[in-house]
Every structure is written in C-alpha cells, then in structure tokens.
Amino acid sequence: MESQLPAEFIVNVDHDRCRKCKRCVTNCSFSAIEFRDKVLPNHKQCVACHRCSTLCPESAITITENPLQFKDGYNWTPEIRKNIMKQAESGGIILTGMGNPKPYPIYWDHMLIDACQVTNPSIDPLREPMELRTYLGAKPDMLEFEGEGSNINLKTELSPQVKLDIPVVFAAMSYGAISLNAHKALAIAAKRMGTLMNTGEGGLHKDLAGYTDSIVVQVASGRFGVTSKYLNNSAMVEIKIGQGAKPGIGGHLPGEKVDEDISRTRMIPVGTDALSPAPHHDIYSIEDLSQLIYAIKETTDYKKPVSVKIAAVHNVAAIASGIVRAGADVVMIDGFRGGTGAAPMIIRDHVGIPIELALAAVDDRLREEGIRNRASILVGGSIRQSADVVKAIALGADACVIGTASLIAIGCRVCQKCYTGNCAWGIATQKSELVRRLNAEYAADRLCNLLTAWGHEIKEVLGSLGINSIESLRGSRERLRGVGLSQETLDILGIKHAGIGQ
C-alpha cells in the first residue's frame, strides 16, 4: 500500500557548500540520502539520527522538522493522526524504541536539594575526602562481635556484597538489542570505573570473559545463554521479571538479527526469532520466584547477590516487599520512562508509573516493615543527569541504573529506531558494517568521562550538603524539597514543600 504519511523530517543540503564527497550517502543507514549528480535527500526515510550532519566535512547538512502544517487540533494532534494513518496502512501494532517521550510530569524536576549555610559548614570536595563507595547486597539487622578488648572478632557473616566506586551502574541491555562493540564498551568502562554493566537477557559473549567481576548476568524469561558457568562468571545475578518500557510483556529479537555469534551466545539456532515470554513459565507466584532465587543461590554457592528486576507498576511497593521476603538481595525498579530496543508504543507510552513515586513508595514500605536493610534498591527508568542520581539516592535508592544516558554518551541520538536494526551509530544493530563504526575503546573512554563527570558533580552536591559520604544522603529525604507539587504527591515522595524549614 502506498504510504500517505508525510516525512517527519526534512534534510536540507547546502549545495553551495557540498563538495560531493558522498560521505553522507555511505553513512546514512536509513537510505535517506542518495547521490544522483548531487546529494539528494529522501526525506521520508530520515529519522534525524544526525549521522550525515555530524560527519559532513563541510557542515552542509541540516535537518529540520517537517514544517508541514496540520489543521490545528488540541485533541487530534498530528502525532495521533499519523499513527492512525500508519495503522490503516499496516494493520499492525506500532513499534518503537527508547523510552516514553510523552509529557508526563518529571518529578525529578520538581525536587530541589538543600545546602549548608553558616550553622553547618559545607565541605570542599577538592580538599576533603568525599566518599561515594556503595555496597550492593543484603545487610543483616545488626552485627555481632565476640571476644574482648583488642581481640574482638566479627561473629556475623555478611552475605555477598558487590562494591561500587560510584553509585551508578549500566542498565541491562542485551547483546542482540545492542552490538557487541557497545557491550564491550560498557564492560571496559564498568571495570575501569569500579561499577557494573549488565548483560541483559542475551547471554554473555566469550569476548567479555575478562570482565566478569564487573558484570551482572541476567536471567530472563527466555533463559538465553543461561548455564551454571554463566551464572558463576559474574559479580551478581539478576532475574528479570519486568522492564519499565514494557511492563507485563515479553521480548522479541527478530531472526534476522540472530547471526552466528548471537546464536552461540544465546544458545539458539541462527536466524530463529528469540522470543522472551511475557512471564517466566516457571514463575506464576511469589513462591515460584523464591525457588528460582534459591536455585540460583545454590548454583552460585551463595557467593553472588541475586537481584530481581521489576517494572514500576501500581502495586510496586507490595511487590517489592514480597521480592525481598522471597530472598532477593537487590531489588531493581525500572520506571515507566525506561528505555527499550523495541516495544509496542501503546505499552511504552501508557503503562507503568514514574520511578520517583515508585522508589519513594518502595523505600517507605520496606522501612515500615523493618526490612529495608535486607535488600539494596537500584532504580532506573530515565536517570538523565547526576542531579537525578542525587535525588534518587536522597529518596532512598542505593544506586542508579543508566541505559539511555550511557548510549547517548557513545553516540546515540535517541531517534527511537532501535527496533529497525539500522542504527547508524553502530549501537542498536548487528550489521557488521554498522557495528564497526563503534570503536569499543573510544566509546569506553566516553563512558568513563561521563561517570567521572557525574562523580565530581555528586561530590560537589555532597559537599554543599555538608556531608562527606554517600550513605549520609541515602534516604535522607529531609534534604529535598518539592516545588509545584500537590500535597498528595509530596506525601508519597515523603518530602516537604519548598519554604518549609526543618
């Protein structure tokens, strides 16, 4: 069927500047630029990935939104009309990538951080120690000692703990959804920065064997690549129940992405679709989850913390409490803005709840039940900047998880076309000619720079708060104030409105 959809973007080529090097033509992976005597755009194919514009040596290309005016309509927005046109042409579910872009409230931007003045001095992070070290894992209620005087010994044996030098870890993104070079970049950066990357559900490629102390291996409903060796070659094991971008539904890696390497890593035949069922077919209740947690602990000889990842949904606090009681050492909560390689738009844009509210509710619930120490809380789902990390930790998170932000650091332009496999930056693609555009070492440097910068920024804020250790911020909601929030929202977040003192 001939598409009536107008182009989303217009590619403007300044032919006076263009010296016809064709770099743009070879670099456009969406077939939006041809060469017929001169560079000719095919506007309808353009996704605004900026590859051509970034690489043009003459800066001759700009991309603008298609100015085509639709008749005004507050209700029937152009986007809604275009989606109807798409579905009228295809009869299918609208697929999309990345996180929810809709203008729902962003609560991070309605919270402000305290600072010291006079009575308690702020601390200069360049002159004084400033500690970000964080340990993930279950903590006992208390420590017991034996012996006397200088011969005091610790009687309590702690369950396994994973050390983070910075309370920011890389999110689960599977080899399959993203390229091997992207995976390598994340692993190299995680190791260098003393933090973690997460395999996602696609197994662990053999090239990453040297990084296993910095890797969280995931067990998802498809169980791709899960062997006892896989579980033991890790810093931590994560059971993926849900994902913020698509709570309650499974995953689908199309067969055309399953090449030789992915086939071996995922342990499925070349060219077959990799289907992750919506639920784990051996988990239909909390006691089933507990069995899987302990099956993994047995397999790993109780040496690895086990994390359970869930999407932030309405009843997230009760679910998280159940997960902690089921034996998880870490609960990872993924907010409704979390990213994805591919999800139905209806799910991505309309299901789940904001991570800020989910985090506050979970932290409160676990404290009310006196079990907050029994699991660490990781949160993700659109952590965009170090300020979000600071606010998340003040609300009660142990550490934050960044997916989209880490991809942006290595070239992603958030064009939301991950599901096409045409990623021009070599990130969300398995096409070898595209993958090789991403240099793992170079990308790792950029990731390290990002974390280093965030680390400095977090230390600046700690210093201004007059504290020199991240655990004095963790859960210290007293240091946050809301602006422009309803009383109910403030109550859920457990913070006061700006203007109220202690």
Partner 1 sequence: MKCDGIPSGCAISGMMSEEGKRIDGSAIIRSIACMHDRSNGLGGGFAAYGIYPRRRDMYAFHMMYDNAQAKENTEEFFYKYFNIDKDEAIPTRKQKGVANPPILWRYFLEVPVNKLESRSERDYVSNAVMKINSDIEGSYVASSGKNMGAFKGVGYPEDIGEFYKLEEYSAYIWTSHGRFPTNTPGWWGGAHPFTLLDWSVVHNGEISSYGINKRYLEMFGYKLELRTDTEVIAYLFDLLVRSHKLPVEKAVQALAATFWKDIDRMEPQQKKIATALRQVYGSALLNGPFSIIIGHNRGVIGLNDRIKLRPMTAARKDDMLYMASEESAIREIAPDLDEVWSPRAGTPVFGTLRPEVE
Applying CB under 8 A, does 154 fall inside the site for partner 1?
yes
Applying CB under 8 A, does 475 fall inside the site for partner 1?
yes
Q: How far is CA 352 from CA 276, 279, 436, in A?
A: 20, 16, 36
Binding test (CB under 8 A) with partner 1, winner from 23, 183, 365, 477 = 477
Applying CB under 8 A, does 469 fall inside the site for partner 1?
yes
Applying CB under 8 A, does 212 fall inside the site for partner 1?
no
Binding test (CB under 8 A) with partner 1, winner from 32, 48, 123, 424 = 123
Quote the CA–CA distance of 338 and 59 in Å, as a whole number: 33
**Residue 487: exposed, middle, or buried by beta-carbon count in 10 A (0-12, 13-18, 19+)?**
exposed
Among candidates 207, 183, 209, which has minimal Cα distance to 197?
183
Applying CB under 8 A, does 152 fall inside the site for partner 1?
yes
Applying CB under 8 A, does 476 fall inside the site for partner 1?
yes
Applying CB under 8 A, does 110 fall inside the site for partner 1?
no
Binding test (CB under 8 A) with partner 1, winner from 156, 227, 315, 432 = 156
In the complex with partner 1, which residue's Cβ is closer, 191 or 474? 474
Binding test (CB under 8 A) with partner 1, winner from 44, 81, 367, 431 = 367
Binding test (CB under 8 A) with partner 1, winner from 467, 482, 485, 493 = 467
Applying CB under 8 A, does 75 fall inside the site for partner 1?
no
Per-residue mark of binding to partner 1, 161-180 (x: CB under 8 A): x-------------------
Per-residue mark of binding to partner 1, 370-409 (x: CB under 8 A): x-xx------------------------------------
The two three-digit tokens of residue 23, written as one number:
């770099």
Applying CB under 8 A, does 479 fall inside the site for partner 1?
yes
Q: How far is CA 476 from CA 173, 333, 353, in A?
A: 31, 19, 23
Among candidates 265, 269, 285, 199, which has minimal Cα distance to 235?
199
In the complex with partner 1, which residue's Cβ is closer, 52 or 196? 196
Rounded to the nearest whole angstrom, what is the least distance from the CB of residue 165 to partner 1 in the complex? 10
- Which ranges of 222-354 does DSSP label H, i.e. alpha helix? 228-232, 260-266, 286-299, 316-325, 345-350
Residue with tokens 């009575």: 119
Rounded to the nearest whole angstrom, what is the least distance from the CB of residue 393 to partner 1 in the complex? 10
Quote the CA–CA distance of 487 and 479 in Å, as a whole number: 18
Q: How far is CA 243 from CA 40, 251, 314, in A?
A: 40, 10, 14
Region from 39-47, 201-209, 262-270, 367-375 binding partner 1, contact rule CB under 8 A:
367-375
Applying CB under 8 A, does 478 fall inside the site for partner 1?
yes
In the complex with partner 1, which residue's Cβ is closer, 105 or 121? 121
In the complex with partner 1, which residue's Cβ is closer, 31 or 469? 469
Enclosing H/E stretch for 365 = helix 355-368
| CA dihedral sign of residues 93, 96, 99, 101 | negative
Using an 8 Å Cβ cutoff, are 201 and 238 in contact? Answer: no
Q: How far is CA 115 from CA 106, 195, 421, 465, in A?
A: 22, 28, 46, 5
Binding test (CB under 8 A) with partner 1, winner from 473, 481, 485, 493 = 473
Three-class SS state of 303: coil
β-strands 145-146, 134-136: how paired?
unpaired
Using CB under 8 A as the binding criterion, the count of chain residues that bind partner 1 stands at 43
In the complex with partner 1, which residue's Cβ is closer, 8 or 363? 363
Applying CB under 8 A, does 1 fall inside the site for partner 1?
no
Applying CB under 8 A, does 140 fall inside the site for partner 1?
yes
**Long-range Cβ pairs for the range 18-21 (8 Å, 24+):** 18/56, 18/58, 18/60, 19/57, 19/58, 21/57
In the complex with partner 1, which residue's Cβ is closer, 356 or 398? 398
Applying CB under 8 A, does 92 fall inside the site for partner 1?
no
Applying CB under 8 A, does 131 fall inside the site for partner 1?
yes
Binding test (CB under 8 A) with partner 1, winner from 207, 468, 490, 498 = 468
Applying CB under 8 A, does 144 fall inside the site for partner 1?
yes
Alpha-carbon torsion angle 229, 234, 238, 239, nearest 10: 0
Report DSSP letters for 141-163, one per residue.
Answer: SS--EES-GGG-EE-PPPPP-EE
Applying CB under 8 A, does 121 fall inside the site for partner 1?
yes
Footprint of partner 1 (CB under 8 A): 116, 118-121, 123, 128-129, 131, 133, 135, 139-140, 142-145, 152-154, 156, 158, 161, 367, 370, 372-373, 465-469, 471-479, 501-502
